[in-house]
Chains A and B, each alone.
Chain A
Amino acid sequence: MRFILGFIGIVFAGVLLISLITGLSTYFSNPPAPLAANVFHKEPKELHLASDGPFGHFDKQQLQRGFQIYSEVCSACHSMKLVSFRDLKELGYNDAEIKKIASDWKTQVPSINPDTGEETTRKALPSDSFPPPFQNEVAARAANNNALPPDLSLITKAREGGAAYVYSILTGFQDQPAELLKKFPEAKTPPNLHYNPYFANLNIAMPPPLTTEGQVAYAPGNPKPTVDQMARDVAAFLVWTAQPDLERRHAAGIAVVVFLLFATILGYLAKQQIWDEVHRGVRRTGPLDPVNQAKTRRAKAKAGIAG
């Protein structure tokens, strides 16, 4: 049997070797042409938010500004279906404000006319999730040159780089570098697309959403609404939409880790204590020594004590 198994091993290794050789020979005889995206794609810029790190918490003022940008800019195309109006309470809005935000929302919630049974829409309630700007994917594509604006509820968890990715995309729109066009003339950004080196294939369907300073008017006491500031704020807001649990998670995590640290240290000390006699050889001469135990048993038996 060992011969059969050895043979199988050699066959597998042999086929792998052939695969390796053919793969390498194709690679060298016919090297793959580099793509513009391999050369010009950039990793997300650095972005520091209050929610970073194990002690991170949300900057509620910033989240409110980010929500303002979402509602005034992004929500024209991007849905946020997993988040409900009632969740805004965590941003520091009170019940009345939330009720107003919901009923003033630009799109309404599908409903049924109670008298006729016909389909209709009604104003959103705090218990509703954010109604999407488009009824369905077909409508969304039709309105956006056949591109589908992704739902933003989980976007910072659904993209490598998270909030930094969102921030980089929002601030990364630029003209195509001349070098790129020289090297890859066929990679010219097609019409209706926009060059953005932070996007995987460099050309994103979304037109630059944040273009001018003051595009969104912040309430007094907030920083100046520069494009960079607005991008930061909306990225911070989208961290919250994706992980509303973050603050609770960090708080619970610190308690659990501290507890486990103590429990583990105590457990270790108790284990050392229990093993002490084994480590020090007490077992040889101590009461647990089998020879001694046998002696004790004999002595007890002699004395007529049971057990």
Chain B
Amino acid sequence: MATARSAEGSTSSDSGGEGVRRRDFLNVAAVSFAGVGAVAALAPLFVQMSPSQDVLALATTEVDISKVQTGQGIKAQWRKQPVFIRNLTPKEIQEADAVPLSSLRDPETLAERTKPGKKNWLITLGVCTHLGCVPLGIGEGENKGPYGGYFCPCHGSQYDTAARIRAGPAPKNLFVPDYQFTSPTTVTIGAKG
């Protein structure tokens, strides 16, 4: 009986091509299923790192700007980042408009960086586009830098009155977030409009 079995065995190993292919197919299929499963199992391990629902829920912040006088600024917080809200003086607006676009590293006019009819309200993130420090210049008496806007103390980036980069290592102007005037004295940061 055992002899019969071995005979059968040798036949199957002799039958060559087809047997080998079937055998390979099964092993390859099983191993690839295991591989696909392992990769799929990685998905939750990656997505768990992205912002959780409670973080995403804090997408907007309402700020009351009624008390910000011309020439003053306040710091608000949006998504745990500082937001600079500045009520520009006519002189500062004029200075910003006077700069030729061609001389800018990141060409943008002040009008493009503010809402129509609200050119005096400059709202930007208070995060230096170089490496993320908070520039000086929003608080009273702080160093505004040679261009009268903001000055980053970490690596010396200098921003003008429209918060555009003028000198130093930063590549971009201070970022203007989505915001919306929900009333003449309140602004909702994070809301599109």
Choose one: B26, B29, B40, B57; the contact of A127 (CB below 8 Å).
B57
Given A282-B10, A285-B10, A286-B13; A266-B2 close (CB under 8 Å): no
Q: Let me know if A277 is at the binding interface, CB within 8 A.
A: yes
Size of interface on A: residues with Cβ below 8 Å to B: 23
Once the chains are docked, how many angstroms separate the CA of A118 from the CA of B57?
26
B141 in the interface (beta carbon within 8 A)? no
Is A269 an interface residue when CB atoms closer than 8 A count as contact?
Answer: yes
Closest partner residue, chain B, to A252 (CB atom): B44
Q: How many Å lie between the Cα of A274 and that of B31 in the bound state?
A: 13
Identify which of B9, B31, B40, B53 contacts A282 (C-beta below 8 A): B9
| Residue contact B6 to A284, C-beta cutoff 8 Å | yes
Is there a chain A Cβ closer than 8 Å to B23's Cβ?
yes
Name the A residues within 8 Å of B154 (CB-CB): none
* Contact across chains for A287 and B13 when beta carbons are under 8 A apart: yes
Count contacts on B: residues with CB < 8 A to the other chain: 23
- Give every chain B residue within 8 A of A126 (Cβ-Cβ): 57
> Is A14 an interface residue, CB under 8 A from the partner?
no
A84 within 8 A of B: yes
State whether the Cβ of A150 lies closer than 8 Å to any Cβ in chain B: no
Residue numbers in A under 8 Å from B33 (CB-CB)? 259, 262-263, 266-267
Contacts of A250 in B (CB 8 A): none
Contact partners of B13 in chain A: CB under 8 A = 277, 282, 286-287
Contact of B5 among A84, A259, A281 (CB under 8 A): A281
Q: Which chain B residues (1-45) contact chain A, with CB distance < 8 Å?
A: 2, 5-6, 8-10, 12-13, 23, 26-27, 29-31, 33-34, 37, 40
Give the CA-CA distance A286 to B12 in the complex, in Å. Answer: 10
A127 lies within 8 A of B10 (CB): no
Give the chain A neighbours of B53 by CB distance below 8 A. Answer: 86
| A280 is an interface residue with CB less than 8 A from chain B | yes
With both chains docked as a complex, state the minimum distance between the C-beta of A256 and any C-beta of chain B, in angstroms: 8
Contact call A286/B10, Cβ cutoff below 8 A: yes
Establish whether residues A285 and B9, one from each chain, have CB atoms under 8 Å apart when the complex forms. yes
| A-B pairs with beta carbons under 8 Å apart, 15 shown | A86-B57, A126-B57, A127-B54, A127-B57, A127-B58, A259-B40, A263-B33, A267-B30, A277-B9, A280-B6, A281-B9, A282-B9, A285-B9, A286-B13, A287-B13
- In chain B, positions 117-157 with a C-beta closer than 8 Å to chain A are none
A22 within 8 A of B: no
CB within 8 Å for A263 and B37 given contacts A269-B30, A270-B29 = yes
